[in-house]
Amino acid sequence: MAKRDIGIGRLILGSASPRRFQLLQQIGITPDDVIAASIDETPQQRERPRVYVERISREKATATFKATRHDEARAASHILAADTVVALGSRILPKAETAAEAAFCLRLLSGRAHRVYTSVVVMLPDGRQSQRLVEARVRFKRLSTAEIDAYIASGEWKGKAGGYAIQGIAGAFVTKIVGSYSAIVGLPLYETASLLEGTGFPVHLRWMHSG
C-alpha cells in the first residue's frame, strides 16, 4: 500500500480478515498495511473463552510487531489486532474448516443463546499495548435439518468462528442480539475507535483525509 503522511498516523492491521478491514473503513480508517502473522491458535487446556481470545489477540499483535521491526515506516506505525470467539458456556467453538465442523456448531447453537467475545489490541510503535474485550450475546432460532444443510451448501461458514457469519445468510437465524453487532462481525467499532484515540492515533484526522 502507498505510504501515508506520518502526521495523520500509520496503521497496520494484524489480521487477514476482510471483514475487519471493511469495518475499519466504515469508520474512516483505511489501514496502510495488512500483515497476517501466523500463530498457533490452539486453546490451552481448560482455557476459558474470554481468556483465550484476549491471549490470541495479544499474540497476533506481538507477532505483527516483531515482523515490522526491520522497516522504518512500519516500525513507526500503530498495530491493530483482534480475535473473535464464539462460546457456548465455557466451550470454545472452532473456526469451522470443514462442513462437518460447521454442521456440528450449528446443531449446538440451534434454539439457544451463546456469547461472542472479541478482543482488540492496539500496539504502539514503542511496544506498549492497550486492550479491550467486548462481549455480545446472540440467540438463534431452532434450525431445521434442511436449513443447516442449505447453509452448509452455501459455503459461507468457512473459517468463521462458530461456523456462521452473522453479516450474511446466517443473519436469518438470529432472533436476538444483546451488545455490539460489529463486535460479532469481528471488530467492535466504538471500542476500537476509542482504543486508537486513547493511544494517540489521530482517528479524527483520518476522517478529514478520507476523501
Counted domains in the chain: 1
Residue 147: inside a domain: yes
Asked if residue 119 is part of any domain, the answer here is: yes
CB 8: neighbour CB atoms within 10 A? 17
Residue 1, in any domain of the structure: no
- Does 163 reside within a domain? yes
Residues forming beta bridges with residue 95, ordered by sequence position: 161
Helix axes 99-109, 145-154, angle to 10 degrees: 140
Catalytic positions:
83
Phi, psi of 21 (to 5 degrees): -60, -45
Whether residue 71 lies inside any domain: the answer is: yes
DSSP sequence for 104-144:
HHHHHHTTSEEEEEEEEEEE-TTS-EEEEEEEEEEEEPPPP
Is there a domain that residue 183 lies in?
yes
| Tens-level pLDDT at each residue, the chain (211 residues) | 444 444 567 999 999 899 999 999 999 999 999 998 889 999 999 999 999 999 999 999 999 999 998 888 789 999 999 999 999 999 999 999 999 999 999 999 999 999 999 999 999 999 999 999 999 999 999 999 999 999 999 999 999 999 999 999 999 999 999 999 999 999 999 999 999 999 999 888 887 776 5
Provide the grid cell at 20: 475487519
Question: Rounded to two decimals, what is the model's pTM?
Answer: 0.92
Determine phi and psi for 64, rounding to 5 degrees: -65, -40
Q: Is residue 77 part of a domain?
A: yes
113-147 per-residue burial string, b: 16 or more CB within 10 A, e: under 16? ebbbbbbbbbbeeeeebebbbbbbebebeebeeeb
The answer to whether residue 125 sits within a structural domain is yes
CA pair distance 9, 200, nearest whole angstrom: 9
Task: Find the CATH number of the domain harbouring 110.
Answer: 3.90.950.10
Of 165, 167, 147, residue with least CA distance to 157 = 165
Domain that holds residue 180: 6-208
